Amino acid sequence: MAHAPEPDPASGDLGDERPKWDNKAQYLLSCIGFAVGLGNIWRFPYLCQTYGGGAFLVPYVIALVFEGIPLFHVELAIGQRLRKGSIGVWTAISPYLSGLGLGCVTLSFLVSLYYNTILAWVLWYFLNSFQHPLPWSSCPLDLNRTGFVEECQGSSAVSYFWYRQTLNITADINDSGSIQWQLLICLAACWAVVYMCIIRGIETTGKAIYFTASFPYLVLTIFLIRGLTLPGATKGLIYLFTPNMQILQNPRVWLDAATQIFFSLSLAFGGHIAFSSYNSPRNNCRKDAVAIALVNSMTSLYASVAVFSILGFKATNSYEHCLDRNVLILINEFDFPEHSISRDDYPAVLMHLTATQPRRVAQLPLKACHLEDFLDKSASGPGLAFIVFTEAVLHMPGAPGWAVLFFGMLFTLGLSSMFGNMEAIITPLLDKGVLPRRVPKEALTGLVCLVCFLSATCFMLQSGNYWLEIFDNFVAPLNLLIFAFLEVVGVVYVYGMKRFCDDIAWMTGRQPGPYWRLTWRVVSPLLLLTIFVAYVTLLARKPLSYRAWNPQYDCGPHSSPNVSGKVSPDKTPRAGAVPLAPGETLPGLGARCLRAAVPASCAVGPNGRAGPAAHPVEADVEGQERRPDTDRR
């Protein structure tokens, strides 16, 4: 086992040839930008709303204290002490752990492929936001220009623009389709932007991070102020944070809270190790770990308030439209004077008519309008960004401006995270000297970006969204859990707890207290092992699947706008399954409709009806009918 070199008091520093941050702010902003990503916007609010509102904060805080912050401190401390990238750090600790560093680099490479693909989608929406009306505000005309496209009418304009006009998605993963050239150009532009920002490592990212890390907070504040002034915002926030303590009895809540902390802080990717390796060895890494972790969690809460104030407005708007439609039906059917029934009077009038003329009322195409049902239609992942929020923006005055701000915010959020992903790849390669010293760093950076761009072109196919979802669900989670477990075990039991604590004392001036020692030695490894076992158990119980957009899907007679995000057998129609493995679709077998986390679940088009719908369905490897679980993102 190789130990860290003993500090030389005369030199006062280590690795003088290694680049350094210009100032502490650049380092902190880079770590915050890497940790705070798209998941803070589209994953945490969804989890908070799904798992009992404010009650979810209980397991979340526990996971933060006993898992997130201790592991984060380990990465910042070991990178700062050894002043190397992930491969160099773990090789220095023990040659047997060199594969851990290589695994971090490989995983960062794979994640960067589909992460920048999402940024390409965001860029496409950003460019399409500079027009009025927005292209997803209405269905396009059919070929005869006598009506709207049937596929769009059967779902919704925002769903059609996402699945058909943007992705032009195929029916299943077996049909690769062709390259979507507009998205390929956007992907090339995204990699060009990433390259220009990281061309000289921290020298250039340190400058770009001032904007990319701060702009999202400015936009979130603007959305928060605007959202709180919209009707229904308070209802959305009440629905989000109303605690349901009974849900804490569900083990899945604790598992999702632990994994959310883990992924949100970007642990085990190697990016934080690379960033901290450019620090002064005497930097107080303990204070940095606590501060960055708290900023990351507070950002998630801040984003939740901003997002659900807007979604509360959207739900209230949809609820009022539903009531207005039913009121109009009653007025036309029973020849009431115009404007004689208000929204407040509608329930009493409907109850009276149901009691006096039940047969006539039963024949009317009335929809069940409940605000809670519309609030239930939340989403996570791309469904929130490209479906739910884009629809909410349509109802806001000056919709194009809000769309530009929203997708600009998502782009800068993702770009900051890409800095960390790429640094996790390039720093170890530079440390290992994979190219001769005469080759400039800019060339190595360009080569890495070019390889990533070419490797990511598979996501630009019409079936690319399916492959991206498979990557997102199955490439990173288990590997990150294993890597994090090996990290903490390697530092505590291979490098040695005493040596590690002495290093921290030398860097910060204080020995770690009992809290740090106990979490590193016992709590964090056991927690990670428990999460790993629980995660594997869930995967074993749930067939491998992906979500498919089926334009021939028939939503069935039970579909209506009041179908909530919670799947119930009596309200859930069926769809033809698409096998994950090659094979034919089995007639008569189907998959349950996805939760509202999936865009436009059994969607109702502008005409207020459900019918032949372009609808996402979930298929497993056997093509068997099953109820899907909530997706991880």
Instruction: Name the binding residues for Na(+).
Output: 33, 35-36, 40, 264, 296, 413, 417
573: which 2 tokens?
């129609």
How many angstroms from the chain centroid is the CA of residue 301? 15
Residue 267, helix vs strand vs coil:
coil
Asked if residue 584 lies in contact with residue 514, where contact means CB atoms within 8 angstroms, the answer is: no
- Determine the Cα–Cα distance for residues 310 and 302; give it in Å rounded to an integer: 13
Q: What is the DSSP string of 410-458?
A: HHHHHHHHHHHHHHHHHHHHHHHT-S-TTS-HHHHHHHHHHHHHHHGGG
154: which 2 tokens?
């059967």
Asked if residue 457 lies in contact with residue 308, where contact means CB atoms within 8 angstroms, the answer is: no
Task: Decide the pairing of beta strands 574-576 and 590-592.
Answer: antiparallel
H or E element at residue 591: strand 590-592
- Determine the Cα–Cα distance for residues 111 and 113; give it in Å rounded to an integer: 5
| Greatest C-alpha distance within the chain | 96
431: which 2 tokens?
């440390």
Q: Known binding site: residues?
A: 33, 35-36, 40, 264, 296, 413, 417
E-only strand ranges, 162-210? none
Q: What is the DSSP string of 291-340?
A: HHHHHHHHHHHHHHHHHHHHHHHHHHHHHHHHHHHHHHHHHHHHTPPTT-
Instruction: Give the dihedral sign, CA 331/316/557/554.
Output: positive
Burial class (CB in 10 A: 0-12, 13-18, 19+), 540: exposed
How many angstroms from the chain centroid is the CA of residue 608? 30
Dihedral, CA atoms, 350, 352, 355, 357, nearest 10 degrees? -70
Residue 35, helix vs strand vs coil:
helix
- Determine the Cα–Cα distance for residues 290 and 69; give it in Å rounded to an integer: 6
406: which 2 tokens?
């929203």
- Residue 400: CB atoms within 10 A of its CB come to 16
Alpha carbon of 431 to those of 83, 145, 199, 281: distances in Å?
10, 61, 16, 18
Count of alpha carbons within 13 Å of 187, Cβ hemisphere only?
27
H or E element at residue 45: helix 44-50
DSSP letter at 369 equals -
The vertex-576 CA angle with 574 and 581, nearest 5°, equals 130
- Residue 517: CB atoms within 10 A of its CB come to 16
